[in-house]
Structure 1
Amino acid sequence: MAASTDELAIIVDALYRNLDTPTPVFGAQDWYDLATEEIARRSEPASPDAYGAA
């Protein structure tokens, strides 16, 4: 199931906080990048809330 934009923002915040630690979880940077790109995509005008969703 796809996360709502609000849920995605919470995930991005948690990933950012994890990246700000001395030993972030492996792969956290990639997940953070993907999630922030998705939020940016969703904020574009006339953009569906998720890929392929109406």
Structure 2
Amino acid sequence: MNRSQLAHFMNHSGDPEETLTAASTEELGIIVDALYRNLDTPKPVLGAQDWYDLAVEELGRRSTPESPGAYGAA
């Protein structure tokens, strides 16, 4: 996902938390990677840090099976 695609995604996705929660784990990985690469540029997309922080939190929730909000928890 290039800078233009990332900016379009972020600007047209609505609420970041809802968008990231609804994404599959594979999609979330792609988003996190794109955000990370974008943040490592001289001029990251406005809001990329907030999206990145939320996405990393969501990945963390999914990787902790004992947490009450984890996906697939019984």
User: C-alpha deviations, 1:14-38, integer Å up to 9, x for none?
Assistant: 0000000000011000000000000
Aligned length: 50
Greater RCO (CA < 8 Å, at least 6 residues apart): 1
Structure 2 unaligned regions, length at least 5:
1-18
Task: Note the aligned Cα RMSD (angstroms).
Answer: 1.8
Matched, 1:48 2:71: yes
Q: Describe the superposition over 1:1-52 as per-residue Cα deviations: whole angstroms up to 9, x where unpaired.
A: 7110111000000000000000001100000000000000011115226xxx
More helix by share: 2
- % identity of equivalent residues: 74
**Equivalent runs, 1:8-19 vs 2, <5 Å:** 8-19=28-39
Out of 22, 28, 31, which is 2:48 matched to? 28
TM-score by length of 1: 0.82
Q: Distance in 1 between matches of 2:46 and 2:38?
A: 10
Ranges of 4+ aligned residues in structure 1 off by more than 3 Å? none
